[in-house]
Amino acid sequence: MEFNKRAVAKFLAESNRIEGYVTNEQWYVQEMSNHKKKNKHVKNSVRAWEYVKDNHTKIPTTYDLLQLHRCQMLDLLQVKETGQFRRSTVMVGGHCPCNPASVPYKIDDLMYKIEDRQPMDAHFEFETIHPFVDGNGRVGRLLYLWLYLLQGNEFEGADNFLTNFLDLGEDPDEADFYALRQRYYGEIIKWRLRKEGSLV
């Protein structure tokens, strides 16, 4: 299956932008066309996308999540943290995700029959586990994309991740993006609270 490079570039650029790394969509198109860029965020995002593209017709596994993280975070984290579950406690938006010792078990629970899950629910659960020291958002959105494609959807429906997720109807301008990013994180927190029964 062929994918529209501009749609892929838009998804990857937005995924990095949510994390605070502003990159040019054209850089991703060039990277996919073998005009190699020096920007590690671009290079790694394309490498991780290519992993999804090559495997999107099979059900993702825990091993695949580790490989996605390795692709996405190569040379951005210490080698011992790349493609490995975190071994330390982290704080995310005032929330302390699960104890590092329970991360592999929680990920195994998530990945069990993951093909039956809604892509956004799987993404939210992944984010609340926060299995890695860094790179969780980008890997979580790639997991969402993988499941979205596995369910037979066209890529073009996923290229505006944040816009579609927040049901905006149009691309946010630069001035609004920080507020939209905060809304996105807020939705993840609300999902977690509902799952824990703290929010009705």
- Catalytic positions: 130
Structure tokens at 103: 């991360």
